[in-house]
Amino acid sequence: MITTLDTVSWAKELTTGNAEFVETPDLELFIVSNIRENGGGYGSGFGISFSSPYQFVVLESDPVPPSPGPGASFGAPPPTSVPKATYTFPQPTISFDPAVAYDSNSGLLHILGTRNTPTSATSSSPQLSDVIKFTYDTNTEILTGPFVIAASVGTRIRSSYDICVLPTGNTLVALSLTDPNPTFPIPDYVAITAVEVGGNVVTVTTTTQPFVAGQWMLLDNLVNATFLNGQILQIVEVTATGFLAYFNVGNYPSAADTGNAEPVGSSLFVVELDMTTNLPVANTATILDSSPSRSGNTFDGISLLTVGPSVELYYQSHPKVFTFQDQIFTINLIGRDFPPGGFGFNFGGDFGVPNPGFGADFGFDFGLSPTTWSSITPLTTFTARYSDNRLTVLSDYQGNRYLSLTYWSQLNHPEGIVGSVLVGTSQGGGDWFFHLQLECRHVFTAHETAVGLHKGIDLMRDFAAIEIIAHRVDRSHAAFTRG
């Protein structure tokens, strides 16, 4: 079944991301669009108040029956759809590229996307972006937001981010950022007031402490400890007055100084957001992987998966320096409370049976540390010229995981660039098995604003079919797909 959703174009997915749809347990489809071209005015500034071209909409499929099937229509016969909610950006925004997570307990759609960083009431930066969050209540049909993810303000977002719902109702957000600062409000730099070096450990005292362990900081403009000017150091510990970093240099006694510390480099950043305020939960902001400027790896292709109390974060990494040759890409896994502790699912479920024991989940979280992240586990590597950053990982009710990613290689072939698909599966959360599938000489994506659904029982086949038009699946028991 193919349903045309709109009579005007949405932002092109090949350059600005895509839309996303979610299917609820009630077989309803909610679609969050990318930037919708709702009229162009007469150029930047003039005409903005007449008809802004910078907006996104939330669509809801009509009930079945009378609609012949989920997704057959959205408020009106195709190709006209009636949005349940609309948001218009005050400033020019090229891409919204939403990631959506649905909370079946509360009926909330948690929407994560980007905007061009505002520079005035009607202008924005053409290069820098912010990650912003909206919440759509499917019960009241109210859209709230935007809530700015403070770490992302004015950074170069690599269009790689994802969101998932935790058992508490809070959300977890993962972002790939350049020059991140995980606090709010965002200073361009922090002022240094003192420096000490002992045993190759640099102790930096600052006026404020907007730091997270793993961050890379550029030190500059120091008056006394001039040997640190221009040095990029990685924070190993955050203190009440500043931070500590390793640097192989002779001892330097504690002395007052003036200078700046500026966040730099690439970071894989996660933070938990409160379900009510959408503000960061204390002590949850974490940098899981990072590299300094102009060297090391860069991070993209983020996909979050929640399985019970555990969170699995899958991401792609590859060398930052572009060599115009094929290079090694790595798919990595890192988890929070993963693998789960306790005594395992269903422990104590039959205590006192038949009436009724302590419940199926009794003992599952005994001894867990829900905010502790595991070490990084590389799952597989492959050689490619470049790779899509829309890594997709999903799970089913049996605990099986499925992974899909598109990449391109330079081969000795008349067509030059050849597109392939990496697919992988983990049965019951065990070992991963991967297969590199040569796809075709020409890789393309249709531009029509439409969604296609079909019914089948072969999950891997259906998954591949969905991925032709959809590029991210949210990681919960309902189906969540960026289409």
Least confident among 117-121, 165-169, 368-372: 368-372
CA distances from 209 to 224, 241, 287, 393 (A): 21, 7, 16, 36
Which residue carries 């057959």 as its tokens? 72
| Domain containing residue 256: CATH number | 2.40.30
Same-domain status, 258 and 299: no
81-87-92-94 Cα dihedral, nearest 10 degrees: -50
Its domain, for residue 101, covers: 2-180+266-337+372-482
* 327-336 sheet: strands from edge to edge: 85-88, 55-60, 29-32, 20-23, 479-482, 472-475, 297-307, 310-319, 327-336, 377-384
Same-domain status, 383 and 476: yes
Same-domain status, 159 and 292: yes
| Domain containing residue 25: CATH number | 2.115.10
Assigned domain for 433 exists: yes
Assigned domain for 348 exists: no
Q: What CA–CA distance (Å, rounded) separates 63 from 79? A: 17
Residue where a domain terminates, one of 245, 264, 283? 264
- The CA-CA-CA angle for residues 242, 243, 249, to 5°, reads 125
Over residues 191-212, the pLDDT tens digits come to: 999 999 999 999 999 988 778 8
63: number of Cβ within 10 Å: 11
Q: Give the pTM.
A: 0.77
Least confident among 244-253, 265-274, 412-421: 412-421
Residue where a domain terminates, one of 214, 233, 264? 264
**Is 244 or 417 the better-scoring residue by pLDDT?**
244
Structural domains in the chain (count): 2
CA distances from 307 to 40, 336, 430 (A): 44, 11, 13
Answer whether 203's CB lies under 8 Å from 244's CB: yes
Q: Is the pLDDT of residue 346 over 60?
A: no
Over residues 283-323, the pLDDT tens digits come to: 788 888 988 887 889 898 899 999 878 899 999 999 988 77
Q: What CA–CA distance (Å, rounded) separates 408 from 415? A: 12
334 pLDDT band, cuts 50/70/90, is very high
152 pLDDT band, cuts 50/70/90, is low
Looking at every residue in the chain, the average pLDDT score rounds to 78
What does the pLDDT read at residue 183?
A: 45
What does the pLDDT read at residue 111?
A: 97
Answer whether 193's CB lies under 8 Å from 205's CB: yes
What does the pLDDT read at residue 352?
A: 53
Same-domain status, 248 and 287: no
Same-domain status, 22 and 85: yes
Assigned domain for 343 exists: no
Assigned domain for 17 exists: yes
Residue where a domain terminates, one of 242, 264, 286? 264
Interval 50-60 mean pLDDT: 79
**Is 268 or 50 the better-scoring residue by pLDDT?**
268
Same-domain status, 304 and 158: yes
Q: Is the pLDDT of residue 277 over 70?
A: yes
* E strands in 33-89: 55-60, 85-88
Assigned domain for 344 exists: no
Q: Is the pLDDT of residue 103 over 80?
A: yes
For the ranges 39-43, 96-100, 267-271, the one whose mean pLDDT is highest: 96-100
Same-domain status, 18 and 141: yes
- Helix (H) or strand (E) segment spanning residue 13: helix 13-16
Assigned domain for 466 exists: yes
Same-domain status, 292 and 241: no
Assigned domain for 392 exists: yes
433 phi and psi, to 5 degrees? -125, 130
Q: Is the pLDDT of residue 460 over 60?
A: no
Structure tokens at 290: 């990072």
Interval 333-352 mean pLDDT: 63
Q: Is the pLDDT of residue 463 over 60?
A: no
Answer whether 100's CB lies under 8 Å from 131's CB: no
440-444-449-454 Cα dihedral, nearest 10 degrees: 10
Assigned domain for 283 exists: yes
Same-domain status, 163 and 271: yes
Same-domain status, 10 and 96: yes
